[in-house]
Amino acid sequence: MAEPLLLLEGVTKSFGDGVVTHVLHGIDLAVGRGEFAALIGPSGSGKSTLLHILGLLDRPTAGRVLLEGRDTGPLDDDARTALRGRALGFVFQFHHLLPEFTALENVLLPMLARAGRERPGMRARARALLDAIGLSERASFRATDLSGGQQQRVAIARALANEPLLVLADEPTGNLDTETGANAFEMLRRFNRELGTAFLVVTHDMRIADRCDRVVELVDGRIRAERRGGVG
């Protein structure tokens, strides 16, 4: 692996002023281009916190976060937001879509936010993504009128809207039944294969972790184990 896409160096994270909670302790982690990695660990081990730092949503208390070799620490919030919009996609665990918008619009929104307004080709790209997740007939459905699995698939399409280098997914299959979860996971793998997008997926499901290129295990804010494995 040449220069990693995203690199964490000695990242620690603490919360609170008076009573300080130390959540992450000296994390060193590299995510390569086109990689498909799983992040596992018990509840409260700091997975979401780590993901937010990786995704430039949050700043580390100490340590550095480098995106494509560039230290993101000195960047102000707007520069980080712009970088996030261009290079990173998110799939969240709990709340996925904006309920005020249709499925198609939800996929369109990251493109609109980035360009400021609609440009030719955006709508077609959003449709193509909906096609790829098998929801083209649901394009004009309100987000709230979709099933949980469908919503999660739209959220995946949305994460891919701006052709990010890396998608960070926080338990994307967590509240789906096994089969729907497996389908959503398959979809991520397919995008990884076809688009070369790197994925870091937080999961509790070992069957899913086993099918990733690499598994990172976080315990009490430290990386306890890393293993390569699974099939492609």
Partner 1 sequence: MPFTWLVALRFLREGRFQTLLILSGVGVGVGVIVFLSALISGLQTSLVDRTLGTQPHIVMRAPDDVVRPARQGPAVAARLEPPAQRLRSILAWQQALSTVRALPGVTAAAPIVGGAAFAVRGLANRSVALRGVDGPSYARIIDIEPRLVAGAFDVSGTRAVIGTELAKDLGIGVGDKLRIETPIGRSDVFLVSGVFDVGNKDLNLRWVFVSLRSAQTLLDLVGGVSTIEVKVARIFDAEAIAGEISGRTGLVAESWMRLNTQLLVGLRSQSASSWMIQLFVVVAVALGIASVLVVSVVQKSREIGILKAMGTSTRQVVRIFLIQGALVGLVGSVAGVAFGSGLALFFASLAKNPDGSATFPVELGPGLFLAAAAVATVTGLLSAVAPARRAARLDPAEVIRYG
Ligand X SMILES: Nc1ncnc2c1ncn2[C@@H]1O[C@H](COP(=O)(O)OP(=O)(O)OP(=O)(O)O)[C@@H](O)[C@H]1O
Give, for 23, the enclosing helix (H) or strand (E): strand 21-31
22 scored as a contact of partner 1 (CB under 8 A) = no
Closer residue to partner 1 (CB): 98 or 206: 98
CB of residue 125 vs partner 1: minimum separation in angstroms? 15
State which residue has the least CB distance to Mg ion. Answer: 48
48 scored as a contact of ligand X (CB under 6 A) = yes
152 scored as a contact of ligand X (CB under 6 A) = no
Classify strands 36-40 and 62-67 as parallel, antiparallel or unpaired. Answer: unpaired
CA atoms within 13 A on the CB side of 30: 9
CA distances to 41, 172, 174, 177, 215 from 205, in Å = 10, 11, 8, 12, 12
CA distances to 47, 86, 110, 142, 178 from 151, in Å = 23, 23, 16, 10, 16
44 scored as a contact of ligand X (CB under 6 A) = yes
102 scored as a contact of Mg ion (CB under 5 A) = no
CB of residue 93 vs partner 1: minimum separation in angstroms? 7
150 scored as a contact of ligand X (CB under 6 A) = no
Amino acid occupying residue 26: G
How far is residue 225 CA from its own chain's centroid?
21
Cα–Cα distance between 187 and 184 in angstroms, integer? 5
- From 43-51, 112-120, 121-129, 134-142, give the range in contact with ligand X by CB under 6 A: 43-51
Provide the binding-site residues for partner 1, judged by CB under 8 A: 48, 52, 55, 57-58, 77-78, 81-82, 84-86, 89-90, 92-95, 98-101, 109-110, 112-118, 158, 161-162
Provide the binding-site residues for ligand X, judged by CB under 6 A: 15-16, 21, 23, 41, 43-49
